[in-house]
Amino acid sequence: MALFTVQNLSLAYEGRHVIDNLSFTVAQGDYLCIVGENGSGKSTLLRGLLGMISPTAGRILRGDGLGRQDMGYLPQQTKQQRDFPASVEEVVRTGCLNRTGLLPSPDTRTKVEENLRRLGIADLRRRPYAHLSGGQQQRVLLARALCAAQKLLLLDEPTASLDPAAASEFYRLIDDLHREGLTVIMVTHDIPPAMEYATHILHLGTKSHWFGTADAYGKAGSGFTGGEHHA
């Protein structure tokens, strides 16, 4: 069942068109990696899927009753966010706000505890978030996103600030979550991990786009020939 059906989509960022005439689908259980050169609209596309910006043309259809409250989002982290003055547990708890509101509930506490343990950071719950390593911070932000991710997890270059060892560990962690049944959409510049873990690849270009399976993308190469769909 398709969670997203994107039809002839165009999106703009700060008044400039960055995506034109894009079509693809994301089915329940998919692991889609979005790749492409800088400025091709990868982060803008995630914001469009989340409903944060509206299409200038075309449409984004949601299926299976998918709502914003079903989607967990891990955006790119700014320097100010890395220094956020809160404990690990407090940061993770904010991921439940879309579903439960400001008041804590037994469900919130259960969800937070579940994801702290799931990501191996329960022992860090009282630590200041700003004092953690880059890899630890990304685990905290992932736990936060998982508190919201009932059906779908969207990640925007989650390994950009990590060293190679921490990045590899993070990709394996996302693969484990996908194998547990979570649908994943990830923006990344790392082609080898995308080819290893993803089921599908969407390559955004300045002149054309490519969408298909990871296997077909590997055969297509940089020219996007022989793929399943050209947008």
The pLDDT tens digits of the residues spanning 101-125 come to 555 566 788 899 999 999 999 999 9
Residue scoring higher pLDDT (198 or 97): 198
**pTM beyond 0.85, yes or no:** yes
H/E element holding 138? helix 134-148
Contacts of 159 by beta carbon, 8 Å cutoff, 6+ apart: 138, 166, 167, 170, 171, 188, 190
The pLDDT tens digits of the residues spanning 128-169 come to 999 999 889 999 999 999 998 888 999 999 998 889 998 999
Average pLDDT over residues 190-215: 93
Residue 132: domain span: 73-150
Is 100 within the bounds of a domain? Answer: yes
pLDDT tops 80 at residue 78? no
Is 108 within the bounds of a domain? Answer: yes
Determine what percent of the chain is predicted with pLDDT higher than 70: 90
Strands (E) located in 14-165: 16-27, 31-36, 57-62, 71-74, 152-156
For 93, the token pair is 């708890």
pLDDT at 158: 92
Inter-residue contact 204 to 41 (CB < 8 Å): yes
Which of 186, 123, 199 minimizes the C-alpha distance to 149?
186
The pLDDT tens digits of the residues spanning 2-61 come to 999 999 999 998 888 899 999 999 999 999 999 998 889 999 999 999 999 999 999 999
Is 142 within the bounds of a domain? Answer: yes
Is 97 within the bounds of a domain? Answer: yes
Is 145 within the bounds of a domain? Answer: yes
For 21, the token pair is 């005439």
- The number of distinct structural domains making up the chain is 1
Using pLDDT thresholds of 50, 70 and 90, give the confidence band for residue 199: very high
For 109, the token pair is 């506490």
pLDDT tops 70 at residue 231? no
Is 124 within the bounds of a domain? Answer: yes
pLDDT tops 60 at residue 224? no
Is 86 within the bounds of a domain? Answer: yes
Is 95 within the bounds of a domain? Answer: yes
Using pLDDT thresholds of 50, 70 and 90, give the confidence band for residue 225: very low
pLDDT at 32: 98
pLDDT tops 60 at residue 222? no
